């Protein structure tokens, strides 16, 4: 296991700046110790909570920017849907996020090959119209994003030792 550390002063400052900043401090620290990207090779260097946090980060970034179509097109579908990600969110108490992933899984199975195919920018933009069945899941995520992030932050706060070691300067 890689040791993730965060300076106490940095954590306190992040907490004062809100839940998004608080969550980002952990995401950034975990990302840093694995070289910036979660891969099949470095997954074993993290615990399940750290991996779940990175999953939330990737899900959040992709869906808030371009929805589930973008998430899948950019290669995160396999990670989200072929791992116990949804179950982990349910165990964290984020049941509505579990439901979104669980229900959208059927569409992922149905369309992932078309969505993951290489394409031009124009072809990519056309995917949003072709696969508008994902819109309901995009909307559900966006409408609940603030609540989801608050729940992630609360889970981290209640289980800090699962995510990082807090060190004094």
Residue 32 has pLDDT above 90, yes or no: yes
Please state whether 35 falls in left (phi above 0), alpha (psi between -120 and 50) or beta: left
Q: Can you give the pTM of this predicted structure?
A: 0.95
Give the whole-angstrom CA distance, residue 66 versus residue 76: 13
CATH class of 5-167: mainly alpha
**Which pLDDT belongs to residue 137?**
98
Per residue in 71-129, pLDDT (tens digit) is 999 999 999 999 999 999 999 999 999 999 999 999 999 999 999 999 999 999 999 99
> What is the end-to-end Cα distance of the chain in Å, rounded?
23
Beta strands in the chain (DSSP E): 5-7, 165-167
Give the whole-angstrom CA distance, residue 26 versus residue 50: 9
Mean pLDDT, the chain, integer: 96
Show me where the domains of the chain are located. 5-167
For residue 6, the cross-strand partners are: 166
Q: Give percent of the chain with pLDDT exceeding 90.
A: 94
Residues with Cβ within 8 Å of 54's Cβ and at least 6 positions away in sequence, in order, are 27, 30, 31, 38, 46
């Amino acid at each position: 296991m890689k040791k993730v550390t965060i300076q106490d002063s940095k954590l306190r400052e992040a907490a004062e700046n809100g839940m998004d900043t608080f969550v980002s401090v952990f995401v950034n620290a975990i990302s840093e110790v694995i070289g910036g990207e979660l891969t099949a090779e470095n997954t074993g260097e993290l615990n399940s909570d750290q991996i779940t946090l990175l999953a939330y980060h990737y899900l959040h970034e992709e869906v808030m920017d371009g929805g589930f179509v973008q998430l899948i097109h950019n290669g995160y579908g396999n990670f989200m849907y072929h791992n116990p990600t949804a179950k982990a969110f349910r165990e964290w108490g984020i049941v509505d996020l579990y439901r979104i992933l669980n229900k959208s899984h059927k569409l992922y199975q149905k369309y992932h090959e078309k969505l993951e195919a290489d394409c031009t920018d124009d072809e990519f933009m056309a995917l949003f119209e072709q696969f508008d069945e994902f819109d309901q899941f995009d909307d559900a995520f966006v409408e609940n994003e603030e609540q989801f992030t608050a729940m992630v932050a609360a889970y981290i706060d209640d289980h800090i030792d699962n995510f990082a070691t807090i060190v004094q300067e």
